[in-house]
Amino acid sequence: MISVSDLKLVYVASCVILGLIIVAPTLATVITLPGGERFSELWLLGQNHMAEDYPFNVKADEQYKVYLGLGNHMGDLEYYLLYVKFRNQTESLPDSVNATSSALEPLSEYRLFLSDGDVWEKELSFSFEGITIEGNVCKVSKLVLEGMVLSVDKVATWDSTNKGFYCQLFFELWLYNAPLSGFQYHNRFVGIWLNMTIQS
């Protein structure tokens, strides 16, 4: 037979459990449990919207296409800055080990706000104007990005190992840092190598 003290214990335990069930939705809005890893994803896809078929052998006055994408998994609304940069084979890239950006000046930029879980993607068309080759030197005057003419004035020297004049179009990701009141390099970049050897 169950004693009175055992019944009291069962009654108190039932009240506590019922109370927790009733209060649980309210506690969930107040208590924040540790989330998973917070990160931003950055990607560049080829002309068929896949991780292949990237433009490579390029010539002046011909249109090329890539897809640039960004996903926010930081757990909150974020303010992003994407810099467009263009370099020859000897100029600096961002340094992932030291989390530093490339020293090159940006040619253009994209600024956007993304809520947590949101994705932004843009089809980018680009072409080049003024590609000249003289001996072991290739000069590239202008990059036309989304109809905007950008002066690049790059010189690439002949790469005898890979048989070509190579430049790289790349995109750096920066993130707004509220305590610093400015953007900080977010240690992510994507890019494609372009062989400028073919002339029109």
Write the single-letter amino acid at 113.
F
Whole-angstrom Cα distance, residue 26 to residue 91? 55
Look at residue 197 in the predicted model and tell me its pLDDT. Answer: 84
Residue 8's domain comprises 1-33
Q: Is residue 189 within 8 Å of 104, Cβ to Cβ? A: no
Q: Do residue 26 and residue 90 come from a single domain?
A: no
Looking at residue 30, the DSSP 8-state letter turns out to be: H
Q: Do residue 110 and residue 136 come from a single domain?
A: yes
Look at residue 199 in the predicted model and tell me its pLDDT. Answer: 63
**CB-CB neighbours of 14 under 10 Å:** 10
Looking at residue 32, the DSSP 8-state letter turns out to be: P
The verdict on residue 200 lying in a domain is no
Look at residue 33 in the predicted model and tell me its pLDDT. Answer: 47
Q: Do residue 4 and residue 94 come from a single domain?
A: no
Q: Do residue 79 and residue 15 come from a single domain?
A: no
Enter the pTM of the model: 0.80
Q: What is the number of structural domains in the chain?
A: 2
Whole-angstrom Cα distance, residue 14 to residue 21? 11
Whole-angstrom Cα distance, residue 56 to residue 172? 20
Residue 45 tokens, joined: 């896809």
pLDDT tens for the chain, 200 residues: list them: 667 676 676 666 676 666 667 766 665 555 554 567 899 999 999 999 999 999 999 999 999 999 999 999 999 999 999 999 999 999 999 998 999 999 999 999 999 999 999 999 999 999 999 999 999 999 999 999 999 999 999 999 999 999 999 999 999 999 999 999 999 999 999 999 999 987 65
